Structure 1
Amino acid sequence: MNEECPKCGAEFSVTVIGGGGICGACREPIDCPYCHETVREERTTGTFTETLIKAPDSLLSRHLGISDDDWEEMGAELNANTGNSGEMTYCYWFMIPEGTSEEILHKTGWKTGQMIDQIPVELVDSDGSY
């Protein structure tokens, strides 16, 4: 069976190993293979093996409501808002570029040339990747 982690959005499959016994069933955890959080527990006489099918989109993409592929397709440049001092990053922003697909614009409600700002710092790694 395939599942999606409610915490990180990873898609993974779950396989029971050694299940189907007559007695001794106990609650075994089903853990996300990406973030390693327990998604749920289920009674079995065996154990579960979880296999990652698709890693979740980045925190930035999930915050924006688009996929990583959409972000790459847009080609937007993420900029740091460092205020007047230029020493500390307060948040990030970007402009919706010309040529952004109608599908992305429709999905998000954005308009070409619009500024998207107040993107939290914690969504972007310290090296500027996301």
Structure 2
Amino acid sequence: MAHWLYKSEPDTWSWEQQVANGEKGEPWNGVRNHSAKKNLLAMKVGDTGFFYHSNQGREIVGIVEVIREARPDPSDPSGKFVMVDVKAVKPLKTPVTLATIKADPRLQEMALVKYSRLSVQPVTDEEWNMICAMGGL
């Protein structure tokens, strides 16, 4: 199983909205970056990911799970981009801020640090375990 990080601006789509959708989850659509598209195409049902509030908060607040693999994104008129469906699994007990991640030398290679603008990113097993521990899980 792989791990990912999904960025969302909380005033557009928040963790609370994701949780409210329950088991049916939500399509992760609107991605318009080719690197992020490749990440979406690599996702499998059961993969887990961090839900990251970007711009406001700049923190990892919860864990989501892929419940439907990549398919065309109907919000893309060009037909080039895809989406997956994710459902909320659980919140972090303590949100992990970008500042905390950047301050940890063991996380300097994390995509969130190196490729800060990428909206859907891979997370290594080691990074996953460290951030889960930081978040109280």
Give the TM-score, by structure 1 length.
Answer: 0.22
Larger RCO (CA within 8 A; separation ≥ 6):
2
Find the structure with the greater CA-based Rg: 1
Question: Normalized per residue, which structure has more helix?
Answer: 2
